[in-house]
């Protein structure tokens, strides 16, 4: 169905998927996961209209790129060439810049009752990034799980870091400070005042960042989490009130755990901690951090990754 029309005249489609007790809706704008219902409860933060997504979204449900997360100073050097990106997060470039993949209309390549594939071509120089990049994302519902598959290919050396920016609330409302989180990660990335990694992979043991055993989001640190973890395994989130649990597995080396503390309830319909994000990805600022896993993609290579969100009964 047609969800709306952009000022440019481009039409935005909305497609519904279902499998077992899961239902989902995906928009061609931003490849947004608009809704994800588990047993009739929508567990992601959603907006009702295209106008809302244009003006009131904080990347709700979107696929972000070309580079998810922050790049320090909005610049990096690749093969001895310096590239400069738009600054949209203080001194940094965040989630691909001022007009990232979250604000593009993706092509619907294939759609069935339980899966949809969308594609986007980002031209050379788009938001300052080199190379023409072709990206795809596939959402698949299978029983009690949602799987997201990503691919990327380029015609010139570039950097890429794709992720989904859904905010989860397993209660379908209220805040997530009581949600209990476990992250199988013995290390995390400390950041400076601009939220750029210092380069250290620090142990979580003995800190408020230790989620190797389950803790409620609001139990420590006032729930002010917006940090990348070096994954050793999977993640779980449980809402004790409803008993609903989400299990997350990924092929990516890290996850940005963001507890929604910067949602303000004014510019968006949601207040602080209305949802939490587990953005599976490579590390922030990797193009400027040679000791981090590389995010460089070259011609002839195909970058793939997958993340699965499972809701066991």
Confidence of residue 266 (pLDDT cuts 50, 70, 90): confident
- Per-residue pLDDT reduced to its tens digit, 121-130: 999 999 999 9
Q: How much is the average pLDDT of 260-281?
A: 94
* Pairwise CA distance, residues 169 & 238, whole Å: 10
Q: How much is the average pLDDT of 148-156?
A: 98
Q: How much is the average pLDDT of 63-91?
A: 98
Domain-by-domain residue ranges, the chain?
Answer: 2-310
* Pairwise CA distance, residues 63 & 104, whole Å: 10
Which helix or strand (DSSP H or E) is residue 309 part of? strand 303-310
Q: How much is the average pLDDT of 135-162?
A: 98
* Pairwise CA distance, residues 274 & 264, whole Å: 10
Whether the pTM exceeds 0.95: the reply is yes
- Per the prediction, the chain carries an average pLDDT of 97
Phi, psi angles (nearest 5°) of residue 89:
-150, 75
- If you ran DSSP here, which 8-state letter would residue 218 be given? T
Of 44, 125, 31, 26, the closest CA to residue 309 belongs to 44
- Residues involved in catalysis: 165, 279
Of 135, 187, 124, the closest CA to residue 161 belongs to 135
Q: Copy the structure tokens of residue 89.
A: 């997060």
Res 111 pLDDT > 90: yes
Q: What is the pLDDT of residue 59?
A: 98
Res 265 pLDDT > 90: no
Q: How much is the average pLDDT of 174-182?
A: 98
| 129, 158 contact by CB (below 8 A) | yes
Res 179 pLDDT > 90: yes
Res 138 pLDDT > 90: yes
Res 252 pLDDT > 90: yes
Cβ-Cβ contacts under 8 Å for 182 (sequence gap 6 or more)? 211, 212, 213, 214, 215, 235, 236, 237
Instruction: Give the position of tokens 């994000």.
Output: 277
Q: What is the pLDDT of residue 181?
A: 98
Confidence of residue 151 (pLDDT cuts 50, 70, 90): very high
Res 68 pLDDT > 90: yes
- Per-residue pLDDT reduced to its tens digit, 198-239: 999 999 999 999 999 999 999 999 999 999 999 999 999 999
CATH 3.40.228.10 at 2-310, yes or no:
no
For 126-270, strand residue ranges (E) read 133-142, 145-154, 158-159, 163-164, 180-183, 187-188, 202-203, 215-216, 226-230, 235-238, 245-250, 254-258
* Pairwise CA distance, residues 42 & 65, whole Å: 25
């Amino acid at each position: 169905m047609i969800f709306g029309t952009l000022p440019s005249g481009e039409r935005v489609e909305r497609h519904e998927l279902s499998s077992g007790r899961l239902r989902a809706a995906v928009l061609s704008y931003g490849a947004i996961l608009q809704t994800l219902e588990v047993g009739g409860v929508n567990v992601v933060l959603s907006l009702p209209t295209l106008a809302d997504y244009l003006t009131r979204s904080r990347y709700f449900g979107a696929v972000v790129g070309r580079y998810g997360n922050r790049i320090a100073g909005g610049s990096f050097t690749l093969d001895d060439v310096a590239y400069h990106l738009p600054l949209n997060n203080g001194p940094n470039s965040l989630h691909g810049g001022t007009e990232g993949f979250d604000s593009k209309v993706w092509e619907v390549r294939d759609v069935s009752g339980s899966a949809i594939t969308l594609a986007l071509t980002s031209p050379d120089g788009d938001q300052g990034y080199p190379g023409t990049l072709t990206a795809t994302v596939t959402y698949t519902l299978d029983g009690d799980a949602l799987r997201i598959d990503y691919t990327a290919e380029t015609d010139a050396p570039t950097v890429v870091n794709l992720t989904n920016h859904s905010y989860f609330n397993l209660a379908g409302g209220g805040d997530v400070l009581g949600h209990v989180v476990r992250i199988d990660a013995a290390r995390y990335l400390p950041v400076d005042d601009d939220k750029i990694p210092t380069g250290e992979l620090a142990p979580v043991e003995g800190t408020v960042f230790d989620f190797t055993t389950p803790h409620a989001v609001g139990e420590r640190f006032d729930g002010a989490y917006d940090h990348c973890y070096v994954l050793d395994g999977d993640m779980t989130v449980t809402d004790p009130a409803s008993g609903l649990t989400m299990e997350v597995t990924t092929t990516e080396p890290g996850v940005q755990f963001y507890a929604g503390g910067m949602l303000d309830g004014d510019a968006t319909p949601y207040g602080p901690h209305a949802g939490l994000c587990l953005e599976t990805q490579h590390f922030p600022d990797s193009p400027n951090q040679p000791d981090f896993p590389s995010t460089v993609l070259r011609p002839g290579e195909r970058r793939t990754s997958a993340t699965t969100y499972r809701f066991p009964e």
